[in-house]
Structures are given as C-alpha cells and as structure tokens.
Amino acid sequence: MVNSTTRAFGSPFRYIQGPDEFNNLAEYASQYGTKLFVLIDGFLFDELSARLADIFADSDCQVVCETFGGECSEAEVQRVTSLVRSAGANIIAGVGGGKTLDTAKLVAANESMPTFILPTSASTDAPTSSLSVVYNEKGEHLYSKSHKRGSDLILVDTKIIAKAPVRLFAAGIGDALSTYYEARANAQSDTANYIGKGYRRTLAAMAIAEKCRDILFENGVRAVNDIKAGALTEAVENVIEANILLSGLGFENTGCAGAHSVHTGIHEIPGTNKYFHGEMVAFGIVFQLVLENDREDELDEVLDLLTTVGLPVTLKQIGVDPTPENIAIIADRICDGNSGVEAEPFLINYDTVYNALISADAIGREWLGEE
C-alpha cells in the first residue's frame, strides 16, 4: 500500500496512429532535429531503410539507418550509443519489436535526445511505456529500467501493423486484456503504480484500463478476422489503439499483478521462449481470476474471447508440461516477491499460487473439451 495520497499519471508526448503514417516521419523529425538515427529490426532493415531514403530525400533532416543486433543488452546499447555519437545524430528512432524499441529508449536516455518509437506489430504495449527491459546476450532477463520521461512520439502506421502475422496481433490482445484486471487488483490493494517512485493511480488511468477491456470485448474477434482477411477496418484500428496506447497507459499508470506474474514464472521453464509475451499473459489472466475467485460469468467471458482469437488458456499451450515439478518451479518464481502477484489485494503464499495454477490449467482444459 502506498504511504501517500499523491496521484500521478505519465504518458508519451505525442501518439499518432493511422495508415501510411510512416511516410510522414521526415516531417515529424524535422520538428526535433537535423539528423535522425533509426534503429531497425534486422528482417525489416532492407525494405524500411530503402523506404526511409526516399522519404528523407527532400528533407532538411538527414537519416542514418542501422540494423538492430537482436538483443536489448548492455552491449547492444553501448554499440548503438557509439554509432549515434559518431553519426552526430540528435534524434533516435526505434523501428520494430519491443527489444528494438527498448534499446532506442535506453540510447536516448544515455544521450538525452528525443525518442521516436515506431512499432511494426501490435503484439504488446511496450511502445507506449517509459520502461526498457534489459537482457543478457543469451536472452535471459536481467532488469527493467524506468526512464524519467516518456518518448516524444509514438508513430503507429496501421498498414504496417495490419500486415504483421495475426498471431502477433492476437498476442497483443492477451497482453492488453490483462490491463483492466490488474488495474482493478492494484486499486483494491492501493499498490503504487510505475510512475517515478510510484504513486496512487488517477481516475483517468482506471478509466483507460476499463476502456481498453471494453474495446477488446467489442472489437477483438472481428479485428482478428479482419486481419486474417487482409482488411484494415475500424475494428482493427480500435484494437491497435487498445493494444498499444490504452494498454500501455493503463499498465504503467495502474500497475501489473497476477497475470504478468505468470509470464515471469513461465520463463523459468526451458523451451517457453518461443511463445510471445501476450500468449503467456493470456493464461495469466485465467490464473489471476482463479486466484481472486472471481465470478464464473466473468471467467467464462474471458475464456471465450481468449480461445476465439486463438490465445492459450492452458499450460500445455504455452509449452509447459503441467507436472507437479513444473508447476512448483513456476509457483516458486511467482512467489519470490518481485513478480507482480504481490499487488493482489490479499495474502499470497506458495500454496495459494500453486493450487491456483493447477485450477486455472484444469479450467482451461475443460473449456477446450480436453480430459
């Protein structure tokens, strides 16, 4: 529980979303500086760097492109920081997935320069947050870094987002759907949010988290079907906003809880790294609702949405054999005091977590019609 009545809310400076917005990057960059350094995911580098050369051809702002090394590690941050200094850049942009974007944020913090974030999928809310997650060279989580300010611009080209694999889009729904349930838990326990040293959440933050949930229930299934059909519709635009903006603002300004703790625990099981963050969090929502002994109709509503859009609701679906040994490993990690589950508004111990994992998996299997 927080020891102050002070409330706080944080956000990026600008959020712009729409089809072909990538083509306006030179216009936006020229408002901030004269040389933009762009860090791009490797598999997108050739296509997007060539496109950027055309976009900046007649601009007063120059562009320098570099391939992301593949891991948001201290070594990669140092490498990119050196390249930014050598190039004489005064703005940095990250283009790609969460690790690319987090690296750009860290370099910007090192150099005290404006940051542009351009996600290429709607798979998580990482683009909007002022956090970076740092890993070692093997991809093992080391720590999270909270930045003193949000990014200057989140630029979301929905044509690019809509062309990403539908599995990524669905994973973003899993991540975003957890926002409301975790916000509710944090509000009930009055746990500090992630703004600065941590404050009480604002009414605006809670309203954003609730709206995020509502959009996903109203538009989630239709949006996934539209993505599969290759259609960029209003439903798709709504879910992109929920996955990236509303979820990002919601979690940072309210806090995570049981659902994200499962993601942390599952990473202790070898072979689970091939599953996306939002896929693990999807099962985590089921776990949290079981842990909280929530209403059957609310749990059914969540299970229906998750399974309809193709998200996991059992441990097996995220690469975990539900043996007592594996469940114990996950429960141990969840209960280590730093997973997020401690934000739940009641006493948490190993036995309650272990049994909630067993129950959530059994409920998921029953929902799928499995024995």
Q: Could you list the active site residues?
A: 175, 260, 263, 277
63 DSSP β-pair partners: 36
The per-residue DSSP string of 291-353 comes to HTT--HHHHHHHHHHHHHTT---SSGGGT----HHHHHHHHHHHTSS-SSGGGSSS---HHHH
- Residue 147's closest CA among 179, 116, 117, 102? 102
Q: How far apart (Å, rounded) are the C-alpha atoms in residues 279 and 291?
A: 19
Q: How far apart (Å, rounded) are the C-alpha atoms in residues 143 and 133?
A: 6
How would you write 209-250 as a 3-class SS string? Answer: HHHHHHHHHHHHHHHHHHHHHCCCCHHHHHHHHHHHHHHHHH
Indicate the length of the chain as a whole number: 371
Tokens representing 329?
Answer: 């490993």
When computed from its CA atoms, the radius of gyration of the chain, rounded to whole angstroms, is: 20
Specify whether the CB–CB gap between 65 and 40 falls below 8 A: yes
